[in-house]
Chains A and B, each alone.
Chain A
Amino acid sequence: MDFDTVTISRLITAMTLLFHIIFATLGVGVPLFISIAELVGIRKQDKHYELLAKRWSRGFVITVAIGVVTGTAIALQLSLVWPNFMQLAGNVIALPLFMEVFAFFFEAIFLGIYLYTWDRFKSKYTHWLLTLPVVIGAGMSAVFITTVNSFMNSPNGFTMVDGEFVAVNPLEAMLNPSSPTRIFHVLGGSYLTVAAILATIAAIALLRNKGAREYHKKALKMTVIAMFIFSVITALAGDVSAKYLAKHQTEKLAAAEWLFESEENADLLLFGWLNKDNEIVGAIRVPGFLSFLAHGDFMSEVTGLEETPEQERPPLIIHYLFDSMVSIGFFLLGISFIYIVLSRLKRWNVHSKIMLWLLAISGPLAMLAVELGWLFAELGRQPWIVRGYMTVDEAATSSPYILHMFFLFLALYIVLGTLFTITLRKLFKDNPAEVELEKHYPEWKEGIEK
């Protein structure tokens, strides 16, 4: 096998990020739900919610640990694998990277305090207040990192003279044109995904039917409602992102939609595939809808791939990534909507087997959508690392050892992933909710509460 260092550099970064964003997404979203559960528990004086917050935070610690180590890995790998990129971009985009560390620091301090002080304060609200810096710190980390990635897509805040960035304005670089829509989409998507994952946990527990049904039903209701709210927000954010692409990054949208020639009243293309001659087969066409989504007007013109020089076009496979992500998004929206409607109607059993199964697959699907969305964002920017200024070929390290490092990190992630699964299983299997309820809150056991 003959690989060039650029391909390996891309693979090693892709691997680290694909692994890291699972934990990053959980890291951004879970604190919000811990905070909500604890608050509801205090206000309703309902021990079920308190236990929910406790159990979620216990699992969260383990995901944070992996998030920290993989986050350290990616932070270092940016310089190790892409030294030329960091040398150039460090001049312009170092500010949010620096602030991200602050945000994480802030979060880490309060998470440590939160976890070890459940019974140390007189007022229960004092302990709940500690969740706020964790939620904010986690959210701000996501905001800062997203601005860095946005900068790579829509670089701004400098002028280029002789291959160097001059007249730098760090704030303008951070708040580049694609930042707002992407921040919106990343935050919404993270909260949506975490809601779905937590709903999956509750749904599986109800399917296994080992007890503590009230507890799991409350968890399910809370998370599915959140799922609905955040899927609406994420879809809106996705729509705004598409409008941004249509205006500023036409080649990405055109490649995602296989729009080869610029067109007025362009069709939205769902699914399908490309045959040997690069013709589209088996796709569903929604007339005029791409124009509508891109510019809010069915007759508007959408720029096709033909207007981008051939060597600067992203790969066409991003259509599949884009479609799958959007389909999952609509599935999550639909399923949470049906749950909410059914739970209002007394005649229907909202906890039927089918419903629970559909909710049980929501979490994994949502995480898959996060991965697909990220792959879409990255592949859609190719061949650039900083769009219009530096390609990935120019940015990568030339070290011949990069291949060895690839396998070293692959081994690391396999070990971490396995240990993560084993630990989490042990943590909750040896101590299921029904046992813990019985032990710590016997009066809140099944059937006794009002």
Chain B
Amino acid sequence: MSYEVIGITVLWLFLYGYLIVASIDFGAGFFAYYAKITKQDHIINQIISRYLSPVWEVTNVFLVFFFVGIVGFFPSSAYYYGSALLVPASFGIILLAIRGSFYAFENYGSKQSNVYMFLYGATGLFIPASLSVALTISEGGYISEQNGQVSLKYFELFTSPLAWSIVALAIVSVLFISASFITYYASRAKDISALQLVRKWALFWATPTIIMALTTMIALSQKNRVNYENMLDLWWVFGLSMGFFLIGISLLYIGRNYGIAFIAIMLQFFFAFFGYGMAKYPYVLYPYINIEDSVTNPSMAMALIVAFIGGLLLLIPSLILLMRLFLFDADYAKGKK
């Protein structure tokens, strides 16, 4: 495999990791606020904060990893995305900052204020919306380059059906992934009332997720024909994704094996996300950045891959320890430790 393929695969894997862990976190914020205003917070908020408190810093790092990595492997992405995304990414940073400080100020500082709970819930939806702009832009047609000046075409972006359907897809996926994870976590903790409540939410958000996925396909076919047709050629990948979706949703509906249900849903997104990624190949930003032409020099690529493997050898055992202590320790989940 060439450096650029290894590089983009690793980065895509990290972006997928972020998609899962961040979705759980973002959705939990929304659900926590929703539960508060519908007076159900006594049922569910304890379980949310017990899981999220020890792992929140870890979530952010996945994102930083992705963009530091993409600038490392494909330096021209710093130039194009950096120039074009100044405004949307700055808003993304502000939202992430509000959210990150929530943990510090609320969980460790004082008792919960309504304003902060609202911000926590709202940022959970706005962050995925603002980050998904990068995916829309990557399809091409939203950036102009004149006299060496790269700028974003705001009008095209805000009037684009593709942009809005990607935003909607991002939001409903966040809620679906998060609800199915919290269902699993509640079942680990044997918290029946929380389990029943969140299971309903997970089932509810499943349908919009599939509808928005199909809508986005249609919008994409109008914007970037090549990418769309590549996706049709990879029909079996999306078929697998659909299959895992059905397994996950059936288990949730029957009401058993929530762990397997969540894994199936993770696999659903894994195949959809990689299918989409493979269909984009070889473009990171259509038509400006194509991974073969814009990959960094071989010595840097090699160094990054070595650093990456070394880092993983260090991180994987640490992550397993973290998960064993907080996620898979039933006593901790129940709140006994």
Binding partners A and B? yes
Q: How far does the alpha carbon of A111 sit from the alpha carbon of B63 in the complex, in Å?
A: 19
User: Provided the pairs A79-B81, A87-B78, A106-B315 are in contact, do residues A73 and B296 lie with their beta carbons within 8 angstroms?
Assistant: no
Chain B CB within 8 A of A171 CB: yes
Question: What is the minimal beta-carbon distance from B114 to any residue of chain A, in angstroms?
Answer: 16
* CB closest residue in chain B, given A130: B321
Q: Which of B65, B108, B296 has the most CB of A within 10 A?
A: B108
User: Provided the pairs A91-B296, A112-B58, A408-B94 are in contact, do residues A426 and B110 lie with their beta carbons within 8 angstroms?
Assistant: yes
Tell me which residues across on chain B come within 8 A of A97, comparing CB atoms: 68, 71-72
Tell me if B311 and A111 are in contact (CB < 8 A): no
User: Provided the pairs A94-B72, A399-B86 are in contact, do residues A66 and B67 lie with their beta carbons within 8 angstroms?
Assistant: no
Interface string of B287-326 (1 = CB under 8 A from A): 0000000001101100110011001001100110110011
Tell me which residues across on chain B come within 8 A of A412, comparing CB atoms: 94, 97
Question: What is the minimal beta-carbon distance from B47 to any residue of chain A, in angstroms?
Answer: 15
Tell me if B71 and A79 are in contact (CB < 8 A): yes
Tell me which residues across on chain B come within 8 A of A82, comparing CB atoms: 82
Chain B CB within 8 A of A7 CB: no
Tell me if A94 and B85 are in contact (CB < 8 A): no
Q: How far does the alpha carbon of A70 sit from the alpha carbon of B60 in the complex, in Å?
A: 12
Tell me if B303 and A170 are in contact (CB < 8 A): yes
The number of A-B residue pairs with CB atoms under 8 Å apart is: 208
Tell me if A104 and B90 are in contact (CB < 8 A): no
Question: What is the minimal beta-carbon distance from A389 to any residue of chain B, in angstroms?
Answer: 15
Tell me if A104 and B61 are in contact (CB < 8 A): yes
Chain A residues with a Cβ closer than 8 Å to the other chain, count: 73
Q: How far does the alpha carbon of A115 sit from the alpha carbon of B76 in the complex, in Å?
A: 40
Chain A CB within 8 A of B246 CB: no
Tell me which residues across on chain B come within 8 A of A286, comparing CB atoms: none
Question: What is the minimal beta-carbon distance from A100 to any residue of chain B, in angstroms?
Answer: 8
- 10 additional A-B pairs beyond A87-B78, A97-B68, beta carbons within 8 Å, are A72-B100, A101-B61, A102-B307, A109-B58, A109-B322, A112-B55, A113-B322, A401-B86, A404-B87, A408-B90
Residues of A at under 8 Å CB distance from B? 58, 61-62, 64-66, 68-73, 75-84, 86-88, 90-92, 94-95, 97-102, 104-106, 108-113, 115-117, 120, 133, 165-166, 168-171, 397-399, 401-402, 404-405, 408-409, 412, 416, 419-420, 422-423, 426-427
Q: List 16 A-B contacts (CB under 8 A).
A: A65-B103, A66-B101, A69-B97, A76-B67, A79-B78, A80-B89, A95-B303, A102-B307, A102-B311, A108-B57, A112-B322, A170-B300, A402-B86, A419-B101, A422-B109, A426-B110
6 interchain residue pairs of minimum CB distance: A94-B72, A65-B104, A90-B75, A86-B78, A83-B82, A79-B82
